[in-house]
Structure 1
Amino acid sequence: LARYGCWPRTWPWLPWACGLAFGAALGYGLLAGFGVPVQRACMMVGLVLLWRLRLRHLGVWWPLLLALNGVLVLEPLASLQVGFWLSFAAVAVLLLAFGGRLGPWSAWQVWTRPQWLIAIGLFPVLLVLGLPISLSAPVANLLAVPWISLVVLPLALLGTALLWVPLAGEGLLWLAGGALDGLFKGLGLLAAQLPAWVPAEVPLGYWLVSLAGAVILLLPKGLPFRVLGWPMLLMAVFAPREWVPHGQVDVVQLDVGQGQALILRTRHHTLLYDAGPRSGPVDLGARVVLPSLKKLGVAQLDMMLLSHADADHAGGAAAVARGLPVKRVVGGETEGLPDFLATQPCTSGERWEWEGVSFQLWQWADGLDGNPRSCVLQVEASGERLLLTGDIDRAAEQAFLASSLAVQTDWLQAPHHGSRSSSSWPFLQRLAPTSVLISRGRSNTFGHPHPQVLERYHVLGSRVYDSAEQGAVRLRLGAFLPPMVARSQRRFWREPLP
Structure 2
Amino acid sequence: MLALAAGLLVLRFLPALPPTWLWLLLLLVGFACLFFRRVLPALFLLGVGWACLSAQWALEDRLAVDLDGRTLWLEGRVVGLPEVRDGTVRFQLEDARSRRADLPQRLRLTWRSGPPLHAGERWRLAVALERPRGLVNPHTFDYEAWLLARRVGATGTIKAGELLSPAQGAGSWRDEIRRRLHGVEAFGREGAISALVVGDGSGLSTADWRLLQDTGTVHLMVISGQHVALLAGVLYGLVACLARLGLWPRRLPWLPWACGLAFAGALGYGWLAGFEVPVRRACVMLGMVLIWRLRFRHLGVWLPFLLALDTVLLLEPLASLQPGFWLSFAAVAILVLAFGGRLGVWPWAQALWRAQWATALGLLPLLLALGLPISASGPLANLIAVPWVSVGVVPLALLGTLLLPVPVVGESMLWLAGAQLEGVFRLLGMIAEASPAWLPHAVPLWGWLLAALGTLLLLLPAGLPLRALGLALLLPLAFPPVDRVPRARVEVWLLDVGQGLSVLLRTRNHALLYDAASRFGEFDLGERVVVPALRGLGVRSLDLLLLSHADGDHAGGSLAVQRGLRVGEVLAGEAAALPASLAAQPCTARQWRWDEVSFSIWHWPQAGNGNQASCVLLVEANGERLLLTGDIDTAAERVLVYSRFSPPVDWLLAPHHGSRSSSSMDLLQALAPRAVLISRGWHNAFGHPHPTVLARYRSLPAEVYDTARLGAVHLRLGDRGAAIGLREQPRFWREK
Same fold (TM > 0.5): yes
Match of 1:82 in 2: 323
Match of 1:393 in 2: 633
Answer whether contact 2:443 2:476 (CA < 8 A) is retained.
no
When residues 57 and 314 of structure 1 are mapped into structure 2, their CA distance, relative to the original with a 3 A threshold, is: same
Match of 2:642 in 1: 402
CA distance in 1: counterparts of 2:733 and 2:476, whole angstroms: 26
When residues 313 and 493 of structure 1 are mapped into structure 2, their CA distance, relative to the original with a 3 A threshold, is: farther
Residue 160 (str. 1) matches residue 396 (str. 2): no
Q: Secondary structure at the match of 2:480?
A: coil
CA distance in 2: counterparts of 1:86 and 1:435, whole angstroms: 42
Match of 1:456 in 2: 696
1:269-301 Cα deviation digits (max 9, x unpaired): 111111111122121111111222222222221
Answer whether contact 1:36 1:71 (CA < 8 A) is retained.
no
Q: How far 1:119 sits from its partner (Å)?
A: 0.7
CA distance in 1: counterparts of 2:291 and 2:559, whole angstroms: 55
Counterpart among 469, 491, 494 of residue 709 in structure 2: 469
Q: Secondary structure at the match of 1:377?
A: strand
Residue 382 (str. 1) matches residue 622 (str. 2): yes
CA distance in 1: counterparts of 2:410 and 2:601, whole angstroms: 66
**Residue identity in the other structure for 1:179:** Q
**Residue identity in the other structure for 1:384:** E
Match of 2:596 in 1: 356
Q: How far 1:405 sits from its partner (Å)?
A: 2.9
Residue 201 (str. 1) matches residue 442 (str. 2): yes
Counterpart among 325, 334, 338 of residue 97 in structure 1: 338
Q: How far 1:402 sits from its partner (Å)?
A: 1.8
1:133-186 Cα deviation digits (max 9, x unpaired): 011111111111111122112222332333343322221121112111211121
When residues 56 and 94 of structure 1 are mapped into structure 2, their CA distance, relative to the original with a 3 A threshold, is: closer
CA distance in 2: counterparts of 1:10 and 1:225, whole angstroms: 54
**Residue identity in the other structure for 2:668:** L
Q: How far 1:2 sits from its partner (Å)?
A: 5.1
Answer whether contact 1:486 1:492 (CA < 8 A) is retained.
no
Q: How far 1:8 sits from its partner (Å)?
A: 5.0
Counterpart among 458, 463, 467 of residue 217 in structure 1: 458
Q: How far 1:9 sits from its partner (Å)?
A: 5.0
* Structure 1 segments of 4+ aligned residues over 6 angstroms from their partners: none
CA distance in 2: counterparts of 1:208 and 1:426, whole angstroms: 54
**Residue identity in the other structure for 2:500:** G
CA distance in 1: counterparts of 2:419 and 2:730, whole angstroms: 46
TM (norm. structure 1) is 0.94
Answer whether contact 1:210 1:232 (CA < 8 A) is retained.
yes
CA distance in 2: counterparts of 1:315 and 1:160, whole angstroms: 40
Answer whether contact 1:206 1:235 (CA < 8 A) is retained.
yes
Could you tell me which runs of 5 or more consecutive residues in structure 2 were left unpaired when the two chains were aligned.
1-241
When residues 2 and 330 of structure 1 are mapped into structure 2, their CA distance, relative to the original with a 3 A threshold, is: closer
Residue 285 (str. 1) matches residue 526 (str. 2): yes
CA distance in 2: counterparts of 1:403 and 1:299, whole angstroms: 36
**Residue identity in the other structure for 1:414:** A
**Residue identity in the other structure for 1:279:** F
Counterpart among 371, 376, 401 of residue 135 in structure 1: 376
CA distance in 2: counterparts of 1:312 and 1:57, whole angstroms: 61
Q: Secondary structure at the match of 2:259?
A: helix
Residue 40 (str. 1) matches residue 290 (str. 2): no
1:422-459 Cα deviation digits (max 9, x unpaired): 01112112211111110011111111100111111111
**Residue identity in the other structure for 2:413:** L
When residues 102 and 354 of structure 1 are mapped into structure 2, their CA distance, relative to the original with a 3 A threshold, is: same
CA distance in 1: counterparts of 2:554 and 2:462, whole angstroms: 54
Match of 2:231 in 1: none
When residues 429 and 105 of structure 1 are mapped into structure 2, their CA distance, relative to the original with a 3 A threshold, is: same
CA distance in 2: counterparts of 1:176 and 1:102, whole angstroms: 38
1:323-368 Cα deviation digits (max 9, x unpaired): 22222111112221112222222223x1111111111111223322
**Residue identity in the other structure for 1:90:** A
Answer whether contact 2:499 2:679 (CA < 8 A) is retained.
yes
**Between 11-20 and 483-492, the greater mean CA deviation after superposition:** 11-20
Answer whether contact 1:48 1:58 (CA < 8 A) is retained.
no
Residue 316 (str. 1) matches residue 557 (str. 2): yes
Answer whether contact 2:633 2:662 (CA < 8 A) is retained.
yes
Q: How far 1:231 sits from its partner (Å)?
A: 1.8
- % of aligned pairs identical? 62
Answer whether contact 2:587 2:615 (CA < 8 A) is retained.
yes
CA distance in 2: counterparts of 1:419 and 1:166, whole angstroms: 61
**Residue identity in the other structure for 2:388:** W
**Between 206-215 and 306-315, the greater mean CA deviation after superposition:** 306-315
TM (norm. structure 2) is 0.65
Q: Secondary structure at the match of 2:612?
A: helix
CA distance in 2: counterparts of 1:42 and 1:266, whole angstroms: 51
When residues 374 and 48 of structure 1 are mapped into structure 2, their CA distance, relative to the original with a 3 A threshold, is: closer
CA distance in 2: counterparts of 1:406 and 1:164, whole angstroms: 73
Could you tell me which runs of 5 or more consecutive residues in structure 1 were left unpaired when the two chains were aligned.
none
CA distance in 1: counterparts of 2:389 and 2:519, whole angstroms: 35
When residues 45 and 334 of structure 1 are mapped into structure 2, their CA distance, relative to the original with a 3 A threshold, is: closer
Residue 298 (str. 1) matches residue 564 (str. 2): no
**Residue identity in the other structure for 1:485:** G
When residues 93 and 357 of structure 1 are mapped into structure 2, their CA distance, relative to the original with a 3 A threshold, is: same
Match of 2:469 in 1: 228
Q: Secondary structure at the match of 1:301?
A: strand
**Between 161-170 and 260-269, the greater mean CA deviation after superposition:** 161-170
Superposition RMSD in Å: 1.9
Q: How far 1:32 sits from its partner (Å)?
A: 4.1
* Number of equivalenced pairs: 493
Answer whether contact 2:545 2:570 (CA < 8 A) is retained.
yes
Match of 1:58 in 2: 299
Counterpart among 183, 186, 191 of residue 427 in structure 2: 186
